Amino acid sequence: MEFVYGKKERMFINTEIGCRAKCSYCYLPNLQQHQKRIDSISSHDACGFVERNPLFHRGEDGTILSIGCYSECFTETNILKTKEIIEQLMPYGNYIQLATKQEVPQSIIDAIIHHRRFEQQVIIYISIPTISAKDQLEEGTSPIRIRIRNIKRCVLNDIPVVLYIKPFIEGVTNKDIRLFMDISRNNNISVVIGERLTVMSMKNPMSASEVGEGKLSNCNNNLLYNRFINSFSKYCRCYKHSTDIIEYYRSMRKNYNDRGMDQ
């Protein structure tokens, strides 16, 4: 497993490999050789891997930078590293994604506001795959009320924030649909409803996810998942992939800039 990997369209950046949250649906235990060990590198080294990578394209239309997929961005050991990464990489103007099930520190919010090149540059995805079964499935994560507070703080500070319902867990996530809708509507935010990832079967290599260096595949594209998305789509802007929101922002900003040039 690599700390930094990806393609010119999107790169994943990790300062740790391993997570203490112990979510029962997590794909990491099936990828790690040593499940109880958390390997780490410095933020400086992580940024260096990005900056020296020939696939890294700078700028708003360049490589999307996703921080964390093999770890949690805001554990005690990772908060400072995450802050240093966004401070070092934001000046390039690339879109940056952060996903978390923990509390978003004020230091992160301050760093984003101070260093971002444009308002939508850094997007925070507040991960809530379940509400009613949180205690059973997400042992080491922050309470749902803390995650909802994250959303409200981001909205208050004009930081783009997304309700990140990933993974969609059949028979679990769908039971909380009314609660999810309340969160989205009460805060006027978009929603990403992502498929569950599992170790890829060699029988279907075309289903490989961007996450996991080709070792993971999506496994939710069924009637229940699609019904859940269709229900949400009636009330808010809803996406299947986290990068779809960035494509929306890119289009929105391009149209705005084009109108400005025409005036």
pLDDT, one tens digit per residue, over 71-95 is 899 999 999 999 999 999 999 999 9
Tens-place pLDDT, residues 111-169: 999 999 999 999 999 999 999 999 999 989 999 999 999 999 999 999 999 999 999 99
| Model confidence, pTM | 0.92
93: left (phi over 0), alpha (psi -120 to 50) or beta: left
Positive or negative: CA dihedral 228, 229, 230, 231: positive
pLDDT score recorded for residue 34: 56
d(C-alpha 68, C-alpha 36), whole Å = 18
* pLDDT given at position 82: 97
What are the tokens at 175? 């039971």
Q: What is the pLDDT of residue 256?
A: 76
Domain boundaries, the chain: 4-258
Rg, C-alpha atoms of the chain: 18
Mean pLDDT, all residues of the chain: 90
pLDDT over 90, % of the chain: 71
pLDDT score of 29 more than 80: no
- 3-class SS string, 156-187: HCCCCEEEEECCCCCCCHHHHHHHHHHHHHHH
The token pair that represents 28 in the structure block = 């990491």
What DSSP assignment string belongs to 203-248? T-GGGB-TTTTTTEEE---SHHHHHHHHHHHTTS-EESSHHHHHHH
What pLDDT sits at residue 213?
67
Greatest mean pLDDT range, 194-198, 217-221, 227-231: 227-231
Give the pLDDT of residue 84.
97
Is 3.10.20.440 the CATH classification of the domain at 4-258? no
3-state helix, strand, coil in the chain (%, to 5): 40, 15, 45
- The proportion of the chain whose per-residue pLDDT surpasses 70, expressed as a percent, equals 90
The CA distance from 218 to 44, in Å, is: 32
CA dihedral of residues 56, 122, 246, 62 (deg, nearest 10): -20
Q: In what helix (H) or strand (E) does residue 48 lie, and over which residues does it extend?
A: helix 43-51
Q: Both tokens of residue 186?
A: 């009460």
What is the average per-residue pLDDT within 52-56? 97
What pLDDT was estimated at residue 263? Answer: 40
